[in-house]
């Protein structure tokens, strides 16, 4: 059961708050939504006074037994939020049928999220999986070591395999491959397989400029034909000094999400031109 499904089980009821329409500048785009219960919320419509007002209104609905209502808010000084636009919100209390529809829609959205396959369930791999847990991606963590995978405390797709490089074939276009294993030779093998796959948004390997040069030499010696320019190594090159896995993971996650966004923008632009 997903976090949203558990949230929607609240016996006190839940209200869906949706940005139905937006004119001018606003904190979130039309179609954005959040869910509000008597004591908590799931998601966001951008924060600030607009969100506080919507939460307040939703909880009054739950208290009064109201099923539906609308709000129109001008984002100006009088509302304490100076975006300058105007927002129309739709608020609807979820019944059993609408709850099922919401959960099904979330499942479809999650299925469409880009894949991030992490090779290596060591300190950095586990930390990266934790960082990605709250982001709109499908995280897959691959390792040859059962004991390392058993230490993963994050809900993700965990795969114990003998040949990690073979998992590359299952990646969809637009996916990211992040290589952080315990073995340089294995890193090189996985990186080579990933670089043979066209359409990946990101191929990154942990290490230094020296390791990148070693990979280039390994490619030449083994007659592997790949475009080494597609390889990001070192990853998060601007991160210097702090070697804690959690810090490295945050930096890598930011780099991966940026590259995934760039890939999606390019693909949408190409589709518009067709």
pLDDT at 81: 61
pLDDT at 27: 83
How many other β-carbons are positioned within 10 Å of the β-carbon of residue 107? 13
Q: How far apart are CA 243 and CA 110, in angstroms?
A: 32
Could you report the per-residue pLDDT of 171-197, keeping only the tens digit for each? 999 999 999 999 999 999 999 999 999
Which has more confidence, 82 or 105? 105
Residues 6+ apart with CB under 8 A from 163: none
pLDDT at 79: 58
What mean pLDDT comes out for the span 115-132?
A: 97
Question: Mean pLDDT in the chain?
Answer: 91
Asked if the 113-273 domain carries CATH number 3.90.550.10, the reply is no
Q: Spell out the domain ranges in the chain.
A: 3-110, 113-273
Q: What is the DSSP letter of 162?
A: S
pTM for the whole structure: 0.77
Give DSSP secondary structure letters for 114-156: PEEEEE--SHHHHHHHHHHTTSSSEEEEEES-HHHHTT--S-S
């Amino acid at each position: 059961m997903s976090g949203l499904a558990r949230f929607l089980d609240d016996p006190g009821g839940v209200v869906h708050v949706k940005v139905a329409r937006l004119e001018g500048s606003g904190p979130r785009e039309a179609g954005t939504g959040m869910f509000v219960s008597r004591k908590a919320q799931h998601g966001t419509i951008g924060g600030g006074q607009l969100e506080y007002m919507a939460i307040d209104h939703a909880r009054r609905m739950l208290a009064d037994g109201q099923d539906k209502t609308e709000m129109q808010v001008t984002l100006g000084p009088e509302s304490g939020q100076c975006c300058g636009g105007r927002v129309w919100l739709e608020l609807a209390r979820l019944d059993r049928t609408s709850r099922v529809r919401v959960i099904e829609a979330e499942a479809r959205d999650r299925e469409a999220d880009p894949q991030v396959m992490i090779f290596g369930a060591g300190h950095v791999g586990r930390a990266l999986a934790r960082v990605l847990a709250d982001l709109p991606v499908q995280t897959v963590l691959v390792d040859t070591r059962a004991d390392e995978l058993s230490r993963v405390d994050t809900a993700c797709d965990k795969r114990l395999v003998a040949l990690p490089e073979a998992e590359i074939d299952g990646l969809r276009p637009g996916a990211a491959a992040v290589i952080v294993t315990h073995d340089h030779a294995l890193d090189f093998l996985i990186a080579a397989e990933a670089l043979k796959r066209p359409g990946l948004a990101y191929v990154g390997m942990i290490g230094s400029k020296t390791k990148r040069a070693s990979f280039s030499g390994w490619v030449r010696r083994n007659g592997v034909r790949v475009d080494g320019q597609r390889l990001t190594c070192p990853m998060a090159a601007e991160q210097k000094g702090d070697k804690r896995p959690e810090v490295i993971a945050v930096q890598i996650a930011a780099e991966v999400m940026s590259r995934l966004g760039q890939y999606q923008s390019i693909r949408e632009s190409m589709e518009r031109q067709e």
